[in-house]
Chain A
Amino acid sequence: MKICVLVKEVPDAAVQKKIDPSTGRMDRSGEKNLNPYDTHAIEAAMQLKESGAMAVDEVVAVTMGPDSAERALHKAVSLGADRSIHLADDSLAGSDVAATGYALSKVLEKEAPDLVLLGQQSDDGECYTIGAVVADHLEFPSLTQVIKIDVEGGTKLRAERQAEYGYDTVEINLPAVISVGDAINEPRYPSLKAIMGAKKKPLDKVSAADSGIDAAKVGGDNSAAQWTGSSEPPKKEAGRIIEDEDTAETVDQIVAWLDERKLI
């Protein structure tokens, strides 16, 4: 069986994220990293493989992004993926969720995975919807925000997730698309050996044409959701900040603040 894990390169957590005001797109000039939520998806794939719960022959990391996104794939294979695919094409830049999901689904179609895993959200766009788009194109059943996966009889999953009324348990036949919540596992750290070996694992770079992507459906200009401007949110008065140096003093200040507002 084959598991494909979707991974994305995002601005590093330490970078102040900003939008380029002329295009409405993310400014991606700073330090970048693998989307932290995606490490949970890779870990979930590794646990399914290593536990033998599924007869997994291969874990394949897939990304769509600019040249630099290759580093996110190196990180993904250092965490255990066997090989990776990089969908890179200038025509894809600025794609919205619908176009990104469509493009990824074309790459996945060729791979014919039994399971597609992805993160709960990206750290930049935070749309949490790529899974549902990909699933509809692949015509696979799907669930997002999953925090527990049990395999039943090798071909069926029992998945748990929190939705708006509490926890749901859902049975899903493979092939399926699952986005995992960050509570599903504690991702491992890559070993030094794995980091060194990452560049030796096969990495396929594919274009939009290679993947059979209809050029009229992708890219910023062809996307159906168009960024048409931005504005400043209403300014909230900045709160007071206390750096805790002497805790007794800090606590006195908190109590005085609460007392002034008759909260005690």
Chain B
Amino acid sequence: MANILVYALQYEGAFNKNSLGAVSEAAKLAAEIGGEAHAIVVGQGVSDDLAGTLGNYGATKVLNVEGPEGLAQPVVDAMAAAVAAGDYGYAIFGGGLLGFEVGAGLAARLDAGVAMEITAVRADGGKLVAERPILGDSAISQISFRSDVGIIISRLNAFEIKETGGTAAVESLSVEFSPFSGQATMITRGEQRGADVDIEGADVLIAGGRGLGAEEGFELCEALATAFGGNSAVAATRAVVDAGWFPYAGQIGQTGKTVAPKLYLAAGISGAIQHKVGMQGAENIVAINKDANAPIFEFSDLGIVGDLNKIMPKLTEAVKAKKGA
């Protein structure tokens, strides 16, 4: 028998959706391999009531650990302590960023195998096998584990959230943090750089990437979004948000928003997996890219190979004309 331990990332009193999905998935898998799904929460003064809500997603036990938030290494200490005290065969993490750092640190600590970017997990003879799409999603590899604990880090939005109406026993676990995990201190967390734009509610998203060339390039996206009118907005990739060309609130992807508009139109975006995971639910995907080999064309419904500087202004005029007609 082996239980599954899930790291439940919590921020400002709410659990991360990807963590909730991971708890649901762990509950399903635990039932298949004859164990239980337990969750672990690390934070400052997280109430047992909040921790207990994870029972509603299938956790039978929640370990509540008092410790610093937003940094991976204290969580590695906490999970290693939980594994030492319990009977765990697997640790599962929802998609995002912190889970990658915690899962990898834990793999090192426990001499364990780790599989990342996992989109599906199946039980096979009492063991778990993880599926990872690789090389631009052109193949899927199956990964199994030889270590006592197998570590599974999922891709963003890989697992569905299922409410069970269940309850969980909450136990506090006191952890002795390792000296090095105290050598990093959070100064500010979750800073929202740039204006508060709303992309989640839009029907039409005109997304811009590094191919726009400069911050001013976003004017082309704004003009096209305006031409579509109605419920349209402009969105962006991490590359241009990191560069300060566009607000963080408008970023699609692994460490940004997940969107599912009726129309997603990309201008100068390569289509990296970490971007794709946030927009692949769009009903219609159109991409303009000057590189015929850009990965985005692999998952576009309509791809235009060409210079966005030539196409975007004319497209804006044509959409306006069509609207006026």
Task: Report which A residues bind B (CB closer than 8 A).
Answer: 17-19, 24, 96-98, 101-102, 124, 126-137, 139-145, 147, 158, 162-173, 176, 181-183, 217, 223-233, 236, 239-244, 247-248, 250-252, 254-255, 257-259, 261, 263-264
| Across-interface contacts of A126 in B (CB, < 8 A) | 117, 134, 273
What class of interface size applies to chain B in its complex with A? 35 or more
Known contacts A101-B108, A137-B108, A170-B184: A230-B318 contact under CB 8 Å: no
How many residue pairs link A and B with beta carbons under 8 A? The number is: 274
B interface, over-half SS: mixed
Q: Is the CB of A183 within 8 A of B315?
A: no
| Across-interface contacts of B150 in A (CB, < 8 A) | 224-225
Interface stretch (choices B40-48, B160-168, B189-197): B189-197
CA distance A217 to B105 in the complex (A): 16
In the complex, how many angstroms separate the beta carbon of A180 from the nearest chain B beta carbon? 11
8 CB < 8 A contacts A-B: A142-B101, A170-B71, A176-B184, A181-B242, A226-B145, A254-B304, A255-B315, A263-B284
Known contacts A19-B135, A101-B104, A167-B193: A228-B143 contact under CB 8 Å: yes
Task: Say yes or no for B305: interface residue by CB 8 A criterion.
Answer: yes
Closest to A226 in B: B144
Q: Is the CB of B315 within 8 A of A264?
A: no
Max chain A CB contacts within 10 Å: which of B100, B133, B192, B299?
B100
A-B residue pairs, 9 tightest by C-beta: A244-B306, A224-B113, A225-B113, A183-B242, A129-B104, A165-B190, A136-B108, A132-B104, A224-B147
In the complex, how many angstroms separate the beta carbon of A119 from the nearest chain B beta carbon? 14
Q: Is the CB of B242 within 8 A of A162?
A: yes
Max chain A CB contacts within 10 Å: which of B108, B146, B188, B307?
B108
B230-249 interface bits toward A, Cβ cutoff 8 Å, 1 = contact, 0 = none: 00000000110111000010
Task: Say yes or no for B204: interface residue by CB 8 A criterion.
Answer: yes
| Across-interface contacts of A259 in B (CB, < 8 A) | 322
Q: Is the CB of B180 within 8 A of A139?
A: yes
Q: Is the CB of A244 within 8 A of B310?
A: yes
Q: Is the CB of A166 within 8 A of B191?
A: yes
Task: Say yes or no for B3: interface residue by CB 8 A criterion.
Answer: no
| Across-interface contacts of B72 in A (CB, < 8 A) | 132, 142
Q: Is the CB of A133 within 8 A of B104?
A: yes
Q: Is the CB of B300 within 8 A of A233?
A: no
In the complex, how many angstroms separate the beta carbon of A181 from the nearest chain B beta carbon? 6
CA distance A240 to B285 in the complex (A): 11
Q: Is the CB of A240 within 8 A of B186?
A: no
Task: Say yes or no for B174: interface residue by CB 8 A criterion.
Answer: no
Q: Is the CB of A225 within 8 A of B145?
A: yes
CA distance A76 to B218 in the complex (A): 35
Interface residues of B in 183-218 (CB under 8 A from A): 183-193, 204
In the complex, how many angstroms separate the beta carbon of B262 from the nearest chain A beta carbon? 6
CA distance A99 to B14 in the complex (A): 35
Partner of A225, one of B115, B242, B292: B115
CA distance A18 to B323 in the complex (A): 46
Partner of B239, one of A17, A183, A217: A183
Q: Is the CB of B187 within 8 A of A171?
A: yes
CA distance A164 to B254 in the complex (A): 7
Task: Say yes or no for B181: interface residue by CB 8 A criterion.
Answer: yes
